Amino acid sequence: MCAKQDSFSELSSLLEKVRHAPLPTKELMLRKFFQDFELYRQSFGELENKPSIYPWLRLVVPGMDRERKAYGLRDRTLAEAYIRALGLDRHNDEVQRLLGAGNDLADRLGPLLQGRCPAVGDLTVDDVNSRLDAISEGRMVAARDELVTLIERGSSLDQRWLVRIVLKNLRLGVSNRRILQLYHPNAPTLYDGASDLKQLVQQIETRAAGEFETSDGGCPVLLAHFIRPMLCQRVELRQVGELLRRDTYWCETKMDGERFQMHWDGISFQYYSRNGHDYSDAFGRTADQVGGTLTPMLATLLAPSTRNLILDGEMMVFDRRDLRFRDKCDGTDVKAIRTGNTNLRPCFCVYDVLYHNGRTLTSVPYAERARLLRHIIREQFGFLQHCRRERVRDAEHLIELINTAIDAQQEGVVLKREDATYQPNRRAGTGWYKIKPDYIEGLVVDFDLLVMGGFYNMRRSNVNTFLVGVARGPGEFVSVAKVSMGLSVAEWQQLNQTLRSHWQTKPFDGMHCGRTLPDVWIAPGNSIVLQLKGSELVRSHSYAAGYTIRFPRVVAIRADKLPD
């Protein structure tokens, strides 16, 4: 390919060849394109304004280009824009086929473009980028006007690739990440640390190979640039023993919220979701922003010595009435909460620090980052919480911590190796592991247990945990477990409404609870049966049955079952 011509037709021709080639050939063609462009760039010697691969790269991996706003166009709306731009009759059979279902809009559009576009296009890469910028800024009206220009100047093949670029799905059979790697071995890592193609290209084109790590070997990150978060690897309980024998681990609470990172440059705050969407306007860009639901309080919690920082954590919905966190399954969108909401507010549960006072901390061991975090920002109940963590002694201690987490209505736990560095967008082999009851091998669902009593929430306004048991004989019941997981808020509310009038503060004859005393009791005839799942029955002195269920979770409310 002669990249120096800056011809979009050259690019569309290359992409067409790559699309139809076998995988090894696809990669060879893309690698050669990048190598040829770099040789062309170097031919300009020491000139400051050398051509850059960036305008081309943002068209080859459009899904990774965060500088250009979303087009707001899907298959149907883009097809409608082409129909208007071409002045087509909507009742035409070909137009109806275009509007019909299909895997690739570009292929369906092809027949309609024959004879309506020039045989050879004269669009440049810069032309296409400027037109796409205009479409992203102006949406549908701009899309129609810009498409008219593109149709007049682009060939039928150019149009098909423009459609795929706008829809951000080139269907090349090579992942975006692999394309970045073919461009430069360090490109995927640099993208993980900033999610900025333009910044990535600038770093690669202005620095020598090997200069892409921080001074202490970590992945560089940038303030006010989304960092693709490090992920946890799923692990089963039977595998944990070997992990604990090899290394030291810390156990953290697994929060059931939305992954967020918070950036502060000393003046303004930015909040990025797990997928990199910016919700700073909702939570507040500055401490004095009217309508900011979190920043006005969070700004007061920063240590005076903190000049800038990046925090990683979970954005939770905090219920101000029940003084507890809502689960994601409750359906409340933490990003949609407004300052006038008297019942709910966002609370940031922070568990890591990636950048502090100008220093990237991705290469710093987990335990050191955790210690530093405590001195950077202080807690405020219902607004900001530090993740609870405890050093794991052995496998039995971990089982105890998991049971405690489940009793506290938490989703599970996370294990983090003490010396683990922060590796953006990595999951396997990083030293972070998640354990949830659903992951535990051998879970069974044949525990049908009667509600014997209940435990109140912090405000004692509702029961949020049940004591459940089984019949030991006529009129005799023994407790087996406490359970609080598995029910939605609506189901809890319905059960509280159904059982509220039947709760008593004294036990009924024949009901034995062992060492675990509930706040309130209920007579068997007024109670309900819950179907639970758990990993196994284990011996326990806490319950009258002498056994309990490990990792219990409610599967169903069995209104068809009798107490006995």
Q: pLDDT band at 4, cuts 50/70/90? A: very low
Please, which residues have CB within 8 angstroms of residue 202's CB and are 6 or more apart in sequence?
Answer: 54
Phi first, then psi, for residue 68 (nearest 5°) are: -85, 130
**Residue 181 corresponds to which tokens in the numbers above?**
């790697």
pLDDT of residue 185 exceeding 60, the answer is yes
Q: Which domains does the chain have, with CATH numbers?
A: 8-167 (1.10.3260.10), 233-439 (3.30.470.30), 446-558 (2.40.50.140)
**In the prediction, which pLDDT does 2 show?**
47
| pLDDT tens per residue, range 450-485 | 999 999 987 788 888 999 999 988 889 999 999 887
Instruction: Identify any residues that bridge with 554 across adjacent strands, giving them in sequence order.
Output: 532
Residue bearing tokens 């139809």: 20
What letter would DSSP give residue 399? H
Q: Are residues 544 and 513 in contact, defined by beta-carbon separation less than 8 angstroms?
A: yes
Mean of the per-residue pLDDT values for the chain? 87
Please give the biggest Cα pair distance in the chain: 94
Q: Can you tell me the distance from the alpha carbon of 145 to that of 72, in angstroms, rounded to the nearest whole number?
A: 15
**In the prediction, which pLDDT does 209 show?**
43
Q: Are residues 310 and 195 in contact, defined by beta-carbon separation less than 8 angstroms?
A: no
Q: Can you tell me the distance from the alpha carbon of 426 to that of 412, in angstroms, rounded to the nearest whole number?
A: 21
Query: Which three-class secondary structure state does DSSP give residue 73?
Result: coil
> Which whole number is the average pLDDT over 49-59?
93
Q: Can you tell me the distance from the alpha carbon of 227 to that of 66, in angstroms, rounded to the nearest whole number?
A: 12
Q: Determine what percent of the chain is predicted with pLDDT higher than 70.
A: 93
Q: Which residue has the higher pLDDT, 500 or 151?
A: 500
pLDDT of residue 183 exceeding 50, the answer is yes
**In the prediction, which pLDDT does 556 show?**
87
Phi first, then psi, for residue 548 (nearest 5°) are: -145, 170
pLDDT of residue 76 exceeding 70, the answer is yes
**In the prediction, which pLDDT does 140 show?**
59
**In the prediction, which pLDDT does 473 show?**
86
**In the prediction, which pLDDT does 357 show?**
96
Q: pLDDT band at 246, cuts 50/70/90? A: very high
Please, which residues have CB within 8 angstroms of residue 230's CB and are 6 or more apart in sequence?
Answer: 312, 422, 423, 424, 425, 426, 427, 430, 432
Instruction: Identify any residues that bridge with 451 across adjacent strands, giving them in sequence order.
Output: 468
Q: pLDDT band at 409, cuts 50/70/90? A: low
Ranked by mean pLDDT, which of 28-42, 451-465, 524-538 comes out on top?
28-42
Region of poorest pLDDT, from 198-202, 408-412, 478-482: 408-412
Residue bearing tokens 């250009």: 68
**In the prediction, which pLDDT does 273 show?**
95
Amino acid at 367: A
Q: Can you tell me the distance from the alpha carbon of 427 to that of 229, in angstroms, rounded to the nearest whole number?
A: 10
- Exposed/middle/buried for 76, CB within 10 Å: 0-12, 13-18, 19+? exposed
Q: Which residue has the higher pLDDT, 86 or 101?
A: 86
pLDDT of residue 337 exceeding 90, the answer is yes
pLDDT of residue 101 exceeding 80, the answer is no
**In the prediction, which pLDDT does 1 show?**
45
**In the prediction, which pLDDT does 142 show?**
65
**In the prediction, which pLDDT does 10 show?**
94
Q: Are residues 532 and 553 in contact, defined by beta-carbon separation less than 8 angstroms?
A: yes
pLDDT of residue 442 exceeding 60, the answer is no
Phi first, then psi, for residue 393 (nearest 5°) are: -80, -45
Amino acid at 131: R
Helix intervals (H) in 419-514: 489-499
Q: How many CB atoms lie within 10 A of CB 540?
A: 20
**Residue 100 corresponds to which tokens in the numbers above?**
């019909």
Q: Can you tell me the distance from the alpha carbon of 163 to that of 82, in angstroms, rounded to the nearest whole number?
A: 10
| pLDDT tens per residue, range 115-171 | 788 888 889 999 999 989 888 887 556 667 787 788 788 888 998 999 999 889 999
pLDDT of residue 288 exceeding 90, the answer is yes
Helix intervals (H) in 100-124: 105-113
pLDDT of residue 254 exceeding 70, the answer is yes
Phi first, then psi, for residue 474 (nearest 5°) are: -60, 115
**In the prediction, which pLDDT does 564 show?**
63
Q: How many CB atoms lie within 10 A of CB 6?
A: 16
> Which whole number is the average pLDDT over 354-364?
95
Q: How many Cα atoms are found within 13 Å in the side-chain-facing hemisphere of 314?
A: 22
**In the prediction, which pLDDT does 165 show?**
93
